[in-house]
Chain A
C-alpha cells in the first residue's frame, strides 16, 4: 500500500526508491506490478525492439514478407540463417527478436499445422495458426519459472478454401490482430509510419515494391541487406534471390532520383 503510492508518483522521474519497487515486480513473471504492468512481457517487447526489422504487406493476390539482413558476418554461411520460415504450404512466418525462441515456436506451429491436417483433413486457416501461436506465447506469460518468448511474428498466408490473403501479427504478450501492412523489430515505428502514408491496394510486383520501399526507410540500401519473400496462392512461398532484390532496389532508387529531379527541374527553366 505504501509502495502503491510511490509507484504512481514516480512514473515520470524514476527515483532510486521507485526503481527498487519496480525491481521487485519483474523477478517472477506471474506477478503484476501495482500499476497493472507485467514487466517481463514489457521487457520481452524491448528484446523485440532490438531485433532486426521485419515488414509484411498484404496485396490483393500477393503477400510480401521482408527482413533486414545484417551483412557484417563474412565467414557465416548465410543459407543456414532462416529468417522467413514456412509453416505449411500456404502459411509463412517472419519474426523479429530472439532467433532461438522463434525456432522453438515455429517448430510447435509446424507440428500443429500437420496435426490439424490429420485430425480435420483440412489445412489450417491463417487465423487458426496465428491464434495457436499467440496462445502459446500467452501461456508463457502465465506460468511460473518461465519467461515469455522474445519475438513478435508476422504470419502471412492464404485461406485454404477461399484463397483470400491474410497478414497477422503476434507479440510476446500473446495478442494478435490482422493487418494490411505492418512492421516489427528495429525502428518499426518509422516503417509503420511510412506504410500508413504510402499504403494503397496493390497486387503482384507493386506489393513487393511497397515492402522494399518500407524496409529501405530503416535499412541500408542494397540487396545484401534485405531478404524478401513473396507468397502467392498457387506457388506458396518464394524467396527472391539477391539479384532480383538488387533490381527492385535499383528501380526504387532510380524512381527517387527521378522524383528529386522533377522537383528541381521546373524552377531552373524559369
Chain B
C-alpha cells in the first residue's frame, strides 16, 4: 500500500514517499524513487498506477523544462500545479492518469508551498496533506502534532512519528521511505527511513 505525504515548515517544504514497487503479491523493488525533481526548486511526489506514475511525472518535468527554455524563466510552483491539474483534467474524460500527487516548491517571492493533486484533477494548496491509505492515519497525527514554522529537526520527528504509525497500524505497510526537501537552496534528498527506524519517540518501541 503506497504512502505519500508532505508539509510546509519554516522556509522549506517536505515530501515523503514510500519506495516500494509492488505488482500484486510480489515486491519488485524496495528502492523506487517516487518523488521527481521537476526543476531546481520543485518536487513532485507521485503514487498510483506504476506506468502512469513514471510517465506522467516525467511528462510534467519535460514540459516544465520546455517552458523554461522558451521563456527564460521557470514556472512558479502554483503555475506548475495548475498546469499539472489541467493535464489531469484534459485526460480525465478520455484516458485518465491514475496518479495521486503532492507537489512542493520554493518560490523566491512567496516562499515554500505545497499542493495536493488528485487523480480526478483536484487541486488544493495546503500546509499539510497526505495521499494513499496512510492518509487515514497521517492526517490524525498532523492534526495533533503539526505546527506552523517547524524547523527541519522537528519536521523529521513528525515524519518519523508518521512512518512509525503506518508501520504499526497498517496492513502491508511499506518497508522504506525517502524524504525530500525543497528550500531556498533547491530541491534535494534529505533522508531515508526504514519502517522501524523511529528514534526519539515518547512511547514504547515495538521491535
Whole-angstrom distance between the Cβ of B37 and the nearest chain A Cβ: 14
Size range of the interface on A? 10 to 19
Q: Does A61 contact B (CB under 8 A)?
A: no
Alpha-carbon separation in the docked complex, A87 to B69 (Å): 7
Q: Does A143 contact B (CB under 8 A)?
A: no
The stretch from A13-21, A43-51, A108-116 touching chain B is A108-116
The chain B residue sitting closest to A121, CB to CB, is B58
Alpha-carbon separation in the docked complex, A87 to B65 (Å): 10
Q: Within 8 Å CB of A107, what residues of B?
A: 70
Q: Within 8 Å CB of B63, what residues of A?
A: 114
How many contacting A-B pairs (Cβ < 8 A)? Answer: 21
Whole-angstrom distance between the Cβ of B205 and the nearest chain A Cβ: 41
Q: Are B59 and A110 in contact (CB under 8 A)?
A: no
- Report 12 cross-chain contacts, Cβ distance below 8 Å, ordered by A residue: A86-B69, A88-B69, A107-B70, A110-B69, A110-B70, A114-B62, A114-B69, A115-B62, A117-B62, A117-B65, A118-B58, A118-B62
Q: Does B126 contact A (CB under 8 A)?
A: no
Alpha-carbon separation in the docked complex, A107 to B67 (Å): 10
Q: Does B66 contact A (CB under 8 A)?
A: yes
**Binary B-proximity of A85-102 (CB < 8 A = 1, otherwise 0):** 011100000000000000
Q: Within 8 Å CB of A111, what residues of B?
A: 66
Whole-angstrom distance between the Cβ of B3 and the nearest chain A Cβ: 26
Identify whether the interface residues of B are mostly helix, strand, loop, or mixed. helix
Q: Within 8 Å CB of A86, what residues of B?
A: 69
Alpha-carbon separation in the docked complex, A107 to B70 (Å): 7
Whole-angstrom distance between the Cβ of A91 and the nearest chain B Cβ: 10
Whole-angstrom distance between the Cβ of A144 and the nearest chain B Cβ: 30
Q: Are A118 and B69 in contact (CB under 8 A)?
A: no
Whole-angstrom distance between the Cβ of A84 and the nearest chain B Cβ: 12
Alpha-carbon separation in the docked complex, A113 to B70 (Å): 12
The chain B residue sitting closest to A85, CB to CB, is B69
The chain B residue sitting closest to A110, CB to CB, is B69
Q: Within 8 Å CB of A118, what residues of B?
A: 58-59, 62
> In B68-100, which residues have CB < 8 Å from any A CB?
69-70
Alpha-carbon separation in the docked complex, A174 to B114 (Å): 47
Whole-angstrom distance between the Cβ of B130 and the nearest chain A Cβ: 29
> In A203-224, which residues have CB < 8 Å from any B CB?
none
Whole-angstrom distance between the Cβ of A13 and the nearest chain B Cβ: 50
Alpha-carbon separation in the docked complex, A88 to B69 (Å): 7
> In A232-267, which residues have CB < 8 Å from any B CB?
none
Alpha-carbon separation in the docked complex, A113 to B65 (Å): 10
Whole-angstrom distance between the Cβ of B161 and the nearest chain A Cβ: 37
Alpha-carbon separation in the docked complex, A87 to B68 (Å): 10
Q: Within 8 Å CB of A114, what residues of B?
A: 62-63, 65-66, 69
**Binary A-proximity of B112-151 (CB < 8 A = 1, otherwise 0):** 0000000000000000000000000000000000000000
Q: Within 8 Å CB of A117, what residues of B?
A: 62, 65
Q: Within 8 Å CB of A115, what residues of B?
A: 62
> In B24-71, which residues have CB < 8 Å from any A CB?
58-59, 62-63, 65-66, 69-70
Whole-angstrom distance between the Cβ of B61 and the nearest chain A Cβ: 8
Alpha-carbon separation in the docked complex, A110 to B66 (Å): 7
Q: Within 8 Å CB of B66, what residues of A?
A: 110-111, 114
The chain B residue sitting closest to A86, CB to CB, is B69
Alpha-carbon separation in the docked complex, A121 to B54 (Å): 12
Alpha-carbon separation in the docked complex, A107 to B66 (Å): 9
The chain A residue sitting closest to B63, CB to CB, is A114
The chain A residue sitting closest to B70, CB to CB, is A110
Alpha-carbon separation in the docked complex, A121 to B58 (Å): 9
Whole-angstrom distance between the Cβ of B127 and the nearest chain A Cβ: 32
Q: Within 8 Å CB of B65, what residues of A?
A: 114, 117
Q: Within 8 Å CB of A110, what residues of B?
A: 66, 69-70
Whole-angstrom distance between the Cβ of B150 and the nearest chain A Cβ: 35
* Residue of A86, A88, A114, A115 with most partner-chain B CB within 10 A: A114
Q: Within 8 Å CB of B70, what residues of A?
A: 107, 110
Q: Within 8 Å CB of B62, what residues of A?
A: 114-115, 117-118
The chain B residue sitting closest to A107, CB to CB, is B70
Q: Are A113 and B59 in contact (CB under 8 A)?
A: no
Whole-angstrom distance between the Cβ of A156 and the nearest chain B Cβ: 15
Whole-angstrom distance between the Cβ of A227 and the nearest chain B Cβ: 15
The chain A residue sitting closest to B64, CB to CB, is A114
Alpha-carbon separation in the docked complex, A86 to B59 (Å): 20
Alpha-carbon separation in the docked complex, A246 to B159 (Å): 55
